[in-house]
A and B are shown apart, each in its own frame.
Chain A
Amino acid sequence: MRSRKRQRLWIACIGLLLLGAATALALNAFEDNLVFFHGPSDIAAGKVENGRLIRIGGLVQEGSVERIANTARVEFKITDGVAATPVSFEGILPDLFREGQGVVANGRLDANGLFTASEILAKHDENYMPPEVVEALKRSGQWKMGGDAASGPAASGPGGGNS
């Protein structure tokens, strides 16, 4: 019986230790790696720290998309109807990236207010609006209820997914 109790004890000890380690790892990782979402108005109001990985969302401003000749760079503006954030991206845009449509981007803001995107996520469906874009439009007061709300299938993410 005593050895069984001892066995229980060390199992419990290892378990608790592990739990502690996992919690410490998770909290530590949370601090550095949580990606906060901001709309263009938040950025215009200076609420966003430069140099930190953030996610922004809104609509691609009409007429703002400019492909830089002979490079893979694209520049455009993301707007929530009140403010607009200039974005620079190097790479292949998602298949359904279009002016006037909802878009979400991950990246960092520099001191000049230019957002360098490392990832652009757009939708895969005409009627779909990424929840982040809805949020940005709500924050800026430009969201009209009953529009093509956040319903419908298929947002494309980098992991458009495979469960």
Chain B
Amino acid sequence: MIAEIGHFALIAAFLLAGLQSTVPLYGAHKGDRGMMELARSTAVGQFVLVLLAFAALVNAFVTSDFSVLNVAQNSHSLKPMLYKISGTWGNHEGSLLLWALILSLFGAMVACFGRNLPPSLRARTLAIQGMIALGFLAFMLFTSNPFDRILAPPPDGAGLNPLLQDPGLAFHPPFLYFGYVGLSISFSFAVAALIEGKVDAAWARWVRPWTLAAWCGLTVGIGLGSWWAYYELGWGGFWFWDPVENASFMPWLAATALLHSAIVVEKRDALKSWTILLAIVAFSLSLLGTFLVRSGVLTSVHAFATDPERGVFILGLLGVAIGGSLTLFAIRAPKLQASGVFQPISREGALLLNNLFLSAAAATVLLGTLYPLFLDVLDAGKVSVGPPFFNATFGPLMAPVLTAMVIGPFLSWKRADLRHAMQKVWLGVAAGVGAIVLTLILSGVEGVLPAVGVGAAVWIIAGTLLELAERVKLFRVPLGETWRRARRTPRAAYGMTVAHLGVGLVVAGVLGATVFKTESIQSMKPGDAAIVAGYTFTLDRVERIQGPNYLAERGVFRISEGGKEIATVNAERRNYPVENEMTTEAGIHTTWVEDLYAVIGEGAPGGGWTTRLYHNPLVPWIWLGTIIMSLGGVISLTDRRLRIGAPTRRRAAVGGAAPAPAE
């Protein structure tokens, strides 16, 4: 009964979305206030209905209602409660429903918090949002209904893929979708602005917080996924350039570029068409990611089912959304006149450089991801594009971004003096060069590139802190004056500082995980010891244990350094009898500066177990940095001018006495 309510709520939401995507557009065209206002009520109504449907599905999972096909296929009565709930979105139909829920949530938020928007822009934005919802609700209702019943319910469900039964992965999809789908708002704003033919500072100010919120979600989502891959797959790595990872990384790169170019539109009234294009591209990449992951053209944990009908449907949606918006862009963009002119060496110039490199990086990732698919379609042979390709292209393209991101905030708008900026940041340069020299001398790692990487991480962190010090004139004026300046500094500026520090940490962590790690593979019997990077791993015993819904073989490792025992870690091989699958659980001891990581394999006939031991220095910083980056985004979101400063459509007076914030 409850499942039927959910189904009907979806149908009603679909009909409302139809209203939302047509009437307000016509109203905005005619200048009819009533018709435009319909956008708000339908957006909120659509959210309530989709929420109802979602609640109905969660209820079906929690109560283990196996008469619902989706529950029977993806749940089991013995599963822990957390995974019963997260199982709701651990399958194709449920994850689409989560997609639609977040889509309508963003629409409803614009309807509720967008009071200051001009009515026509709000109506058009919500109408575009309605169209996207229409497409996805249709997709769900016609090809992937989560509420389908089975006539003869099985006594128990088939269970959830054990790889997905994990706390990190339970929360990975909601965050990721918040980011993926949140970019739809930037897209809707961009298309609405194209329809209106007007892009100005106020527009950029409205769009930016939504993009920022989506970006924060995407950052956390990708971080959680990477963390999960690190400890659950037992490969000791954090990023594999797997197509599904790339599918989320490309929108992230585009969203990062968009965040930065929207600043230029807001502050300087330049780069307008570029920003609009980025907003379209960012969401298009989200849609492409959804297509790649959901259609089953890629096989992975995420390809829940291979169903050509679904793939064709999403491909159609993709074609309409991307083709339509780009056509509109081609017609309208030439009309968008920028008023702000700037020199190559200026803050705009630095932000533009960042944008071009991020876009170029996203393009190479796209190429590497789609190339094997193209060859396959053309029947030109099977190839795979592995990490070496991405490392060889992505790395060199990121280097200029990492260099410019420190100098940029020191440059003034419109026209800047590079020498003057370098004088302020020379300490950062010295720290970076010092780090390079030190690494070359101290570490046994061969080659110059790792050292340059360490230098880059130090450079980013030192340079970013220097920028903050410069802003508050630390030690150059009395401390009281510094404190006053620090309090007057807008939160958006702090947001930038924090986010850039996060980038520095991530760079350091990535280096640790790639060039400075130590790995050892051997066969061990209980009592055997292996030495990895100065740490002694002793396999104490291997025992059989019984979990809530699995059996496991657990290897207990004692880790000691210099004869002193520092930790005990458990590495497990779990067997889930319901699903008849095995998973690996790595045993990890972290000090937040380095990870000691142990994996146990199958037992060999001679009584030994294959073990894989790692020393991963700095790796925790990858996730710490990711969290700090999104924290920077959140701090920037709480900026006064977004909180209160009711953006209105007049040229906002920038800055006052405080230096212009550069977020």
A binding-site residues for B, Cβ under 8 Å: 3-4, 7, 10-11, 14-15, 18-19, 21-22, 25-26, 28-30, 32-37, 53, 55, 67, 69-72, 90-93, 95-96, 106, 124-126, 128, 130-132, 135, 150-163
Q: Does B599 contact A (CB under 8 A)?
A: yes
Q: Does B521 contact A (CB under 8 A)?
A: yes
Q: Are B584 and A37 in contact (CB under 8 A)?
A: no
Q: Are B610 and A150 in contact (CB under 8 A)?
A: no
Q: Are B393 and A22 in contact (CB under 8 A)?
A: yes
User: How many B residues, CB 8 Å from partner?
Assistant: 81
Stretch among B15-23, B112-120, B243-251, B616-624 lining the A interface? B243-251
Q: A19-B360, A92-B600, A163-B248 are in contact. List 14 more A-B contacts (CB 8 A).
A: A14-B344, A15-B356, A18-B356, A22-B361, A33-B386, A67-B605, A69-B606, A93-B602, A124-B581, A150-B306, A159-B233, A162-B172, A162-B226, A163-B289
Contact of A33 among B224, B228, B303, B392 (CB under 8 A): B392
Q: Are A3 and B341 in contact (CB under 8 A)?
A: yes
Q: Are B240 and A153 in contact (CB under 8 A)?
A: no
Contact of A161 among B301, B306, B604 (CB under 8 A): B301
Instruction: State the 7 A-B residue pairs at the shortest beta-carbon distance, nearest first.
Output: A159-B242, A162-B225, A159-B240, A95-B582, A92-B601, A37-B382, A163-B244
Min distance, Cβ B349 to any Cβ of chain A, angstroms: 9
Task: Give Cα A157–Cα B393 distance, bound, in whole angstroms.
Answer: 22
CB contacts (< 8 Å) of A4 on chain B: these are: 338, 341
Q: Are A70 and B606 in contact (CB under 8 A)?
A: yes
CB contacts (< 8 Å) of A91 on chain B: these are: 521, 601, 610, 612
CB contacts (< 8 Å) of A163 on chain B: these are: 176, 225, 244-245, 247-248, 289, 293, 302
Query: Would you give 24 A-B contacts (Cβ < 8 Å), ordered by A?
Result: A21-B360, A25-B396, A26-B367, A32-B392, A33-B385, A33-B386, A35-B385, A35-B386, A36-B382, A55-B384, A71-B523, A91-B610, A92-B599, A95-B583, A124-B163, A131-B382, A153-B161, A153-B301, A156-B301, A160-B233, A161-B245, A161-B300, A162-B245, A162-B248
Q: Does B659 contact A (CB under 8 A)?
A: no
| Closest chain B residue to A19, Cβ basis | B360
Q: Are B602 and A22 in contact (CB under 8 A)?
A: no
B binding-site residues for A, Cβ under 8 Å: 161, 163, 169, 172, 176, 222, 224-226, 228-229, 233-235, 237, 239-245, 247-248, 289, 293, 299-306, 338, 341-342, 344, 352-353, 356-357, 360-361, 363-364, 367-368, 371, 381-386, 388-389, 392-393, 396-397, 521-523, 573, 580-584, 599-602, 604-606, 608, 610-612
Q: Are A26 and B381 in contact (CB under 8 A)?
A: no
Task: Give Cα A4–Cα B272 distance, bound, in whole angstroms.
Answer: 14
Q: Are B364 and A37 in contact (CB under 8 A)?
A: no
Task: Give Cα A135–Cα B381 distance, bound, in whole angstroms.
Answer: 10
Are A154 and B301 also in contact (CB < 8 A) when A26-B367, A160-B163, A163-B176 are? yes
Are A34 and B389 also in contact (CB < 8 A) when A124-B581, A162-B229 are? yes
Are A158 and B573 also in contact (CB < 8 A) when A14-B353, A70-B606, A163-B245 are? no
Are A69 and B605 also in contact (CB < 8 A) when A18-B360, A163-B225 are? yes
CB contacts (< 8 Å) of A3 on chain B: these are: 341
Contact of B573 among A32, A53, A71, A95 (CB under 8 A): A95
Min distance, Cβ B393 to any Cβ of chain A, angstroms: 5
Min distance, Cβ B368 to any Cβ of chain A, angstroms: 8
Q: Are B523 and A72 in contact (CB under 8 A)?
A: yes
Contact of B610 among A11, A15, A72, A130 (CB under 8 A): A72
Task: Give Cα A54–Cα B305 distance, bound, in whole angstroms.
Answer: 28
CB contacts (< 8 Å) of B397 on chain A: these are: 21-22, 25
Min distance, Cβ A75 to any Cβ of chain B, angstroms: 12
CB contacts (< 8 Å) of A151 on chain B: these are: 305-306
Min distance, Cβ A22 to any Cβ of chain B, angstroms: 4
Contact of B300 among A34, A35, A135, A155 (CB under 8 A): A155
CB contacts (< 8 Å) of B608 on chain A: these are: 69-70
| Closest chain A residue to B226, Cβ basis | A162
Contact of B241 among A18, A159, A160 (CB under 8 A): A159
Interface centre among B234, B299, B581, B608 (most CB of A within 10 A): B299
Task: Give Cα A67–Cα B172 distance, bound, in whole angstroms.
Answer: 38
| Closest chain B residue to A152, Cβ basis | B306
Q: Are A35 and B522 in contact (CB under 8 A)?
A: no
Min distance, Cβ B269 to any Cβ of chain A, angstroms: 12
Are A72 and B300 also in contact (CB < 8 A) when A55-B384, A91-B612, A93-B602 are? no
Task: Give Cα A159–Cα B247 distance, bound, in whole angstroms.
Answer: 13
CB contacts (< 8 Å) of B303 on chain A: these are: 153-154
Min distance, Cβ A129 to any Cβ of chain B, angstroms: 10
CB contacts (< 8 Å) of A36 on chain B: these are: 381-383
Task: Give Cα A156–Cα B369 distance, bound, in whole angstroms.
Answer: 17
| Closest chain B residue to A1, Cβ basis | B341
CB contacts (< 8 Å) of B393 on chain A: these are: 22, 25-26, 29
Are A25 and B392 also in contact (CB < 8 A) when A37-B382, A95-B582, A157-B240 are? yes
Min distance, Cβ A44 to any Cβ of chain B, angstroms: 18
Min distance, Cβ A130 to any Cβ of chain B, angstroms: 7
Q: Are B305 and A153 in contact (CB under 8 A)?
A: yes
Q: Are A22 and B242 in contact (CB under 8 A)?
A: no
CB contacts (< 8 Å) of B523 on chain A: these are: 69-72
Task: Give Cα A71–Cα B606 distance, bound, in whole angstroms.
Answer: 10
Contact of B240 among A25, A70, A124, A158 (CB under 8 A): A158
Min distance, Cβ A153 to any Cβ of chain B, angstroms: 6
Are A11 and B364 also in contact (CB < 8 A) when A33-B389, A159-B244, A162-B225 are? no
Task: Give Cα A34–Cα B382 distance, bound, in whole angstroms.
Answer: 10
CB contacts (< 8 Å) of A32 on chain B: these are: 388, 392
Q: Are A28 and B392 in contact (CB under 8 A)?
A: yes
CB contacts (< 8 Å) of B244 on chain A: these are: 159, 161-163
Q: Are A29 and B392 in contact (CB under 8 A)?
A: yes
